[in-house]
Each structure stands twice: as structure tokens, then as C-alpha cells.
């Protein structure tokens, strides 16, 4: 199964798979970050937007919000959720916009879907080109040197008479620029159990390497991965919120 196929085939289950995510808290946190670091504008783009839950919260907060994803079935669901928003099927490592943006977000570690350092650099350059002066790029990231290959997170949910069990975890082989996101989905109903397994190739970087990629384009701040309280990264945790304020390259 290709690394995008599971999301395309199971797009109808994506929201269930992410049912334990507090989209509102994440969106409100980044809105506070934008108030602190940004230019005050309301033009927003969410990269790898999926079915659009973050876009919905930004719209409700008064942003002119839009979304971008590589999978059209996800975008179809996002358009239903956010009929007033604009969505486009594009690769986040080489996208274009019709107007300058004030805020670009990428939640759920989705910048790692770039897959390689070269493509991550292209993503960063595309975001920089899309932002207006003083615009902000905000996303979360994981440090490859702190990944615990034995650690998985799981949750259960029910839909249409079926029970679901979702599990995911990072795997890093110890060297190189690629890690993997391992996914396991079980669906059980009266006819038995179906099992999907997938591994997504993801780009692997340390936070030092990530900052080095970003700094030619952005003034960079690393914050603790805490959507309830904004504080500087303590240098110990393996997850961060990254805030980049656009540099003028002219």
C-alpha cells in the first residue's frame, strides 16, 4: 500500500482516527502565537489540512482560512465541513497561492511528510514565498534523536456499529534522514475484524538541523509542545512548536 493510499481509502474514517485530538485547543494556541509574533493579518493557509477541522476553527475565529492537501477525498470532506473556505489539491513542497498570506500552519507533525531534507527545504521556501511581510509559519516537529521506537499511542472509537482501534508510533533506524510513521487500524463488526497496516516515510531531522534549514528564511523560535501554555522550549523534550517569522530576503 502506498504511503498516501491509506488516507485516501479510509478518508471517511480519518476524523474517527483523530477523535482524541483537541483541534480547538491547537487552533487557539496558534492564534495566540500569531497575535504575539505575527503581522495582525487574517489570511491563513493550513498545509496538509486533511478534512479541515483546523480550518473550521480558524474560520470561526474570523480568519480568511484556506486549506491544502495532496489527497482529494480529504479535501472533499473538508469542503463539506467548511463550505466558505477555499481548498486546493497541491503538494506542500511546491505550492502556489493567489494572494499573500499572513499565517501558514501545519499541524499533526505533517511537515515530516516532506519525506526528505531536500523536499522539506522546498516546503520551507514555498511557505516563505507565500507569506506577506511579517507573516508567520507555525508547525510542530519531532527530533529524530529522541524517538523511542517502542512507543505507540492508541485509542478506540465506534462508528456505524463497528469498533475501531487506532495505533501509531514513530520509528527511526538510528541514522539517515528518514523515519517512519507506523499506523495500525482495526475495524471489528458482526462479520469479523479487518486490519490495515501502513508505514509512512517521513523526513527525520534534529531540532538543530531543522533550525538550520529554517533560518535563511525565518526568525525562529522553538516553544514547548504545550497547546495550553506558551513557553520557550526547555531543550530536553523531543517535540516542539516551531514559530518562524518571515525574513526579508531582498
Instruction: Render pLDDT for 198-245 as a digit per residue (tens, 0 to 9).
Output: 888 999 999 999 999 999 999 999 999 999 999 999 999 999 999 999
Phi, psi of 73 (to 5 degrees): -60, -35
Confidence of residue 3 (pLDDT cuts 50, 70, 90): very low
Cα 152 to Cα 42: distance, rounded to the nearest angstrom: 37
SS3 at position 214? helix
Please report the sign of the dihedral spanned by the C-alpha atoms of residue 210, residue 204, residue 122, residue 140. negative
149, burial (CB in 10 Å: exposed 0-12, middle 13-18, buried 19+): middle
Cα 101 to Cα 245: distance, rounded to the nearest angstrom: 12
Cα 219 to Cα 235: distance, rounded to the nearest angstrom: 18
What is the per-residue pLDDT across 105-119, written as a single tens digit (0 to 9) for each?
Answer: 999 999 999 999 999
Task: Decide which of 14 and 161 is more confident.
Answer: 161
Pick the CATH number of 145-201 from 1.10.600.10, 2.20.130.10, 3.40.50.2000, 3.40.930.10: 2.20.130.10
CATH 3.40.50.150 residue ranges of the chain are 5-143+204-246
Q: What is the pLDDT of residue 12?
A: 73
The three three-digit cell numbers of residue 99, written as one number: 494572494
Enter the pTM of the model.
Answer: 0.94
Give CATH for domain 5-143+204-246.
3.40.50.150
Asked whether 27 and 175 are in contact (CB, 8 A), the reply is no
Pairing of strands 239-246, 218-224: antiparallel
Strand ranges inside 162-217, DSSP E: 162-171, 178-189, 192-203
Confidence of residue 89 (pLDDT cuts 50, 70, 90): very high
What is the per-residue pLDDT across 109-154, written as a single tens digit (0 to 9) for each?
Answer: 999 999 999 999 999 999 999 999 999 999 999 999 999 999 999 9
Q: What percent of the chain has pLDDT over 70?
A: 96
CB atoms within 10 A of CB 100: 14
CATH 2.20.130.10 residue ranges of the chain are 145-201
Amino acid at each position: 500500500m502506498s504511503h498516501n493510499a491509506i488516507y485516501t481509502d479510509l478518508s471517511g474514517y480519518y476524523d474517527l482516527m483523530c477523535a482524541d485530538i483537541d483541534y480547538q485547543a491547537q487552533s487557539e494556541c496558534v492564534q495566540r502565537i500569531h497575535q504575539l509574533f505575527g503581522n495582525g493579518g487574517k489570511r491563513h493557509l493550513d498545509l496538509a489540512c486533511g478534512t479541515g477541522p483546523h480550518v473550521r476553527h480558524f474560520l470561526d475565529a474570523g480568519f480568511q482560512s484556506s486549506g491544502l492537501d495532496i489527497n482529494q477525498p480529504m479535501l472533499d470532506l473538508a469542503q463539506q465541513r467548511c463550505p466558505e473556505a477555499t481548498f486546493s489539491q497541491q503538494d506542500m513542497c511546491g505550492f502556489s497561492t493567489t494572494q499573500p498570506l499572513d499565517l501558514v500552519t501545519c499541524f499533526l507533525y505533517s511537515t515530516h511528510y516532506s519525506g526528505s531534507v531536500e523536499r522539506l527545504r522546498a516546503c520551507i521556501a514555498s511557505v516563505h514565498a507565500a507569506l506577506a511581510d511579517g507573516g508567520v509559519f507555525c508547525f510542530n516537529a519531532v527530533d529524530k534523536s529522541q524517538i523511542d521506537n517502542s512507543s505507540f499511542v492508541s485509542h478506540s472509537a465506534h462508528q456505524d456499529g463497528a469498533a475501531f482501534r487506532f495505533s501509531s508510533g514513530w520509528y527511526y533506524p538510528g541514522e539517515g534522514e528518514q523515519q517512519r510513521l507506523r499506523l495500525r487500524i482495526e475495524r471489528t463488526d458482526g462479520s469479523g475484524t479487518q486490519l490495515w497496516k501502513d508505514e509512512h516515510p517521513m523526513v527525520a531531522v534534529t531540532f538543530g538541523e531543522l533550525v538550520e534549514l529554517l533560518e535563511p528564511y525565518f526568525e525562529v523560535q522553538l516553544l514547548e509542545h504545550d497547546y495550553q501554555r506558551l513557553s520557550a522550549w526547555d531543550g530536553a523534550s523531543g517535540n516542539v512548536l516551531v514559530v518562524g517569522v518571515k525574513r526579508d530576503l531582498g
